[in-house]
Structure 1
């Protein structure tokens, strides 16, 4: 029987799942570096516990560890992320266009941030990463019906709060 401690099995698990787990965590963090760190740490923990984790349970183990790392870090990150959203734009666009763009982005960010985490994650995984509902359901450990409901509620909320969507 295959064992996660086998370099070949471990490497295959990493190659198969690291990108999707990265995207899953990135959408929650909104920060590439933090998402990368969470994925790396999750796979380190998988390696440290390889004798205890069956190969068919490794994917959900890594998702759970990465998500728990996210939950631990996000508490400290909330304040910093609010202030990090300010940026300056130095392009040749007209001041009116830049102001409208900034206002729309602020509305979109505010609307996305106002969504419950599970709806925001589902929306971003589907619309940005192109994941199918079944894939998202597996990642989140819920039914496809639950993902459909989350997506419906997210889209309804965004339509109500942002003109032009």
Structure 2
């Protein structure tokens, strides 16, 4: 049996890039993704001995990563809200949606379109966003996503379908708005 330290180091080597990429797709900011990646591996290290073999390490780590991202976003938005009420902003929503878009995987000339796309992705429900990102950006199959999200395969298919429909509608609206300018 491998001791925890070696086991942890092996998991870190195997999954730290995956965790960082998932966090980056969720948060669209390198520093935030690095912070969440650290938090994920602290959690992995601390819960390694409680890991049940019911799911694979990959599924387990995906699950922790998604939960850390969701917690991070909730915390960040509550921080912004406190800041806003101190400053008396007229439009809270506008402020909350101006995240610093910074995704190293996207070429400079595509930054604007990518920022628009991710802005719209960020308006999806938590489950739609998760299913969509895992399916379209991570390229996972519906059975893999169903295991990570602990939902039925048909629920995953439905979430991805609804996410795509919502994105299509919202992007069409956005681009019509830009065309009219």
TMscore range, shorter length? 0.5 to 0.7
Matched, 1:127 2:156: no
Counterpart of 1:82 in structure 2 is 97
Aligned residues: 149
Q: What is the RMSD computed on CA atoms of the aligned residues? A: 3.4
TM-score when normalising by structure 1? 0.66
TM-score when normalising by structure 2? 0.62
Counterpart of 2:90 in structure 1 is none
- For the Cα contact (< 8 Å) 2:117–2:171, is it kept in 1? yes
| 12 and 144 in structure 1: CA distance in 2 versus 1, 3 angstrom threshold | farther
Alignment of structure 1 residues 33-112 onto 2, 5 Å: 33-54=31-52, 59=57, 61-78=60-77, 79=80, 82-85=97-100, 108-112=117-121
Unaligned runs of 5+ in 2: 81-94, 103-108, 176-181
1:87-118 Cα shifts (integer Å, max 9, x gaps): 9xxxxx9xxxxxxx96x667634432321122
Alpha-carbon distance in structure 2 between the residues aligned to 1:86 and 1:50: 33
Unaligned runs of 5+ in 1: 88-92, 94-100
- For the Cα contact (< 8 Å) 1:119–1:150, is it kept in 2? yes
